Amino acid sequence: MNRQTQRNIKSEDRIRALSRFGSRPGLERMRALMDRLGNPQRGLRVIHVAGTNGKGSVCRYVYDVLRANGFRVGLFTSPFMTDFRDAVVCNDVALPRASLDAHTDRVFCAIDGMCAEGLESPTEFEAITALTLLFFREEAVDFAVLEVGLGGAGDSTNIIDDCLLSVVTSVSLDHCAVLGDTVEAIAREKAGIFKTGRPVVNGAIGAAKAVIERAAREKGCRVFDAAGTAPRDVVIGLGGTTFGADIEGVRYERLRLSAIGRFQAENAVCALYAIHILREIYGVAIDGGKLREGMLRAALPGRFERIDLRTFPGRAGNVFGESGAADGRAAVVFDGAHNPDGMRRIAETVRDVFPQGRTLTVFSALRDKNIDEMLGICADFSAKMILTGSEHERSADAESLSGRLNGLRRANRRSDARDAAVADPREAFETALAERGDFDLILVTGSLYLIRQLQRCLRG
């Protein structure tokens, strides 16, 4: 394929074509790629965030606090909800088309050079990381907030030479085939992002906490124990979360989040420690009022996200109505939790917000996830479940999920749930919405790919 033909192909499609190489941890390809691009990562002031769950939320809180204080900030999160351009943000603007096309050309020119020399082609995520760093360098950001894609040490974001600070949120079993089958092994992989002498915020508990602390000591990093700082006075509702926290002698009262859940207050504590480090160690000017403003404005798509259905047309062209219980019908929430720890946090939030409520859950999962444990947690708080698939090639099919759920229901002597299997995700969602009058909450969860697919429907 010649260069002119390549330019006529949409940039997203050129990048997506690299998905054939899968996910391959290791920095060898990234080093070769970034050398050819002039190493745009060097000199960036990076806040680097890893973890099993919560890392995207921490990134968003830090980003929005810095933005509220007038800084020019780049944000890179993954996975994206609908379009990977939304995962690359500078000053509240998603990656512009012109920048995407220009940087994609540069990245593929470098990839062509690598392949001509007999080197391995970078993966899809590595190419996205590279064009993100080119974009942040071009935009001369004051800070770059980077979410680790998978693991830590071998993740493409770890190509950065230095950072201002590292954060590790929760650590639990996920992606075990790649990262290891123990919490300790996964924690070691995530600690691989630490840079010598740079502060570390540790949000992990138990065995993972000890691993993180030991790895930090070996690199001469000062550790700030976010896991040991529980948020207090937590109030949770469909309108958001209010909490207080004591961070290194600074007492915060009635901080407000638009995000919903006790776990979001815990994520915000990690972010507050990161902000404390920036302010006290690096002298970054952060106003207390602007900090509150940034915390509140942080939007977290796919994290117990309340959905407005007023523009969602049903099969007959009707509109199902506004999300929320004000019209006597169930609130509708999307949450991309896709591992047991994330599902436990959902269960906690459902019980906090709807203590006496009835929940209908639309559930999908990839075959390589811990499906039985996730289903068991969901079945415990769901009066009814609708099992479905997703667009991903590794998605479990609705009938197989239904069979596994039936076994769990029988073991728990719950045969009255009226669960259903609906193969098509949109039809499964519409089936759930048709029953809104019988429930207090319609929850869609288990797979980010299911959320992504339905978000595209909502966007028309």
Q: What is the mean pLDDT of the chain?
A: 88
pLDDT at 323: 40
Q: Which residue has the tokens 């926290």?
A: 245
Residues in the chain: 460
Q: Does pLDDT of 326 surpass 70?
A: no
Q: Which of 19-28, 371-380, 422-431 has the lowest mean pLDDT?
A: 19-28
CA distances to 41, 323, 331, 355, 365 from 352, in Å:
42, 19, 14, 6, 25
Q: Does pLDDT of 253 surpass 80?
A: yes
Residues 6+ apart with CB under 8 A from 326: none
Quick one: which of 30, 148, 12, 89 has its CA closest to 298?
Answer: 89
Peptide bond into 79 cis (omega under 30): yes
CA distance 221 to 239: 38
Helix (H) or strand (E) run with residue 47 in it:
strand 46-50
Q: 447 — phi, psi (to 5°)?
A: -155, 125
Q: Give the CA-trace dihedral at 451, 454, 458, 460, to 10 degrees.
A: 130
Q: Which of 19-33, 126-140, 417-431 has the lowest mean pLDDT?
A: 19-33
Quick one: which of 153, 174, 171, 169 has its CA closest to 207?
Answer: 171
One-letter amino acid for residue 199 of the chain = P
Q: Does pLDDT of 320 surpass 70?
A: no
Per-residue pLDDT tens for 62-78?
A: 999 999 999 999 999 98
Q: Does pLDDT of 285 surpass 90?
A: yes
% of the chain beyond a pLDDT of 90: 68
Residues forming beta bridges with residue 202, ordered by sequence position: 168, 225
Q: How confident is the model at residue 138 (pLDDT cuts 50, 70, 90)?
A: very high
pLDDT at 392: 85
pTM for the predicted model, two decimal places: 0.90
Q: Does pLDDT of 5 surpass 50?
A: no
**How would you list the strands of the sheet with 240-247, edge to edge?**
232-237, 240-247, 250-257
> What sign does the dihedral 97-148-74-27 (CA atoms) show?
negative
Q: Rounded mean pLDDT of 198-210? A: 92
**Token reading at 87:** 């995962």
Q: Rounded mean pLDDT of 224-252? A: 95
CA distance 59 to 270: 10
CA distance 158 to 213: 19
Q: Does pLDDT of 108 surpass 50?
A: yes
Q: Does pLDDT of 152 surpass 90?
A: no
- The CATH superfamily of 3-297 is Mur-like, catalytic domain (3.40.1190.10)
Q: What is the DSSP string of 335-396?
A: ----SHHHHHHHHHHHHHH-TT--EEEEE--BTTS-HHHHHHHHHHH-SEEEE---SSTTBP
Q: Which of 171-185, 377-391, 432-446 has the lowest mean pLDDT?
A: 171-185
pLDDT at 411: 75
Per-residue pLDDT tens for 206-227?
A: 888 999 999 999 999 999 999 9
One-letter amino acid for residue 227 of the chain = A
pLDDT at 206: 87
Helix (H) or strand (E) run with residue 445 in it:
strand 441-445
What is the number of other CB atoms lying within 10 angstroms of the CB of residue 38?
Answer: 12
Q: Rounded mean pLDDT of 86-90? A: 89
pLDDT at 316: 33
Q: Does pLDDT of 7 surpass 60?
A: no
Angle between helix axes 206-218 and 183-190 (nearest 10 degrees) is 40
CA distance 33 to 127: 9
Would you tell me which CATH number, out of the four given (3.90.190.20, 3.30.200.20, 1.10.1040.10, 3.40.50.620), belongs to the domain 305-458?
3.90.190.20
- Give residue limits of the domains in the chain: 3-297, 305-458
Q: How confident is the model at residue 416 (pLDDT cuts 50, 70, 90)?
A: low
Q: Does pLDDT of 373 surpass 80?
A: yes
Q: Rounded mean pLDDT of 255-279? A: 96
pLDDT at 317: 37
